[in-house]
């Protein structure tokens, strides 16, 4: 079984308390349904600093990242099937499946 890093991407999502509460409840229902395939539920993230060849700067990187999770699945197609009904998609977001590269 491989581990897949799932990153959450969206430009604008509501951040008021009511919207965030509904989003969390929807995620928890999805996570319960998903079961042990969701080996690490992850968390929302907020950008604070960027480290690059230019040094350290405040704020987000040039590409928005809103959160992460880890899914255990035999392959990327199965991981995609597990994520197909994720509530973040219903809110207009995208989920990127990142497959580990073996050297």
CATH of 2-50+57-98, one of 3.30.70.1060, 3.40.50.2300, 3.40.190.10, 1.10.3720.10: 3.30.70.1060
Contact between 64 and 10 under an 8 Å Cβ cutoff? The reply is yes
Residue the block writes with tokens 């392959």: 75
Smallest CA-to-CA distance from 43 within 70, 77, 63 is with 70
pLDDT (tens, 9 = 90+) of the chain, 103 residues, equals: 889 999 988 877 777 889 889 999 999 999 999 999 999 999 887 767 777 777 888 877 776 788 899 999 999 999 999 999 999 998 888 999 998 776 6
pLDDT for position 16? 85
pLDDT for position 32? 96
pTM, rounded to two decimals: 0.79
**Ranges of each domain in the chain:** 2-50+57-98
């Amino acid at each position: 079984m491989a581990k897949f890093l799932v990153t959450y991407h969206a430009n604008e999502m509501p951040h008021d308390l009511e919207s965030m509460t509904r989003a969390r409840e929807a995620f928890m229902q999805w996570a319960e349904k998903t079961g042990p395939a969701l080996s690490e539920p992850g968390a929302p993230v907020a950008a604070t600093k960027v480290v690059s060849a230019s040094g350290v700067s405040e704020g987000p990187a040039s590409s928005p990242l809103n959160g992460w999770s880890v899914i255990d699945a035999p392959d990327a197609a199965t991981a995609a099937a597990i994520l197909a009904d994720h509530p973040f998609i219903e809110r207009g977001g995208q989920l990127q499946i990142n497959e580990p590269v073996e050297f």
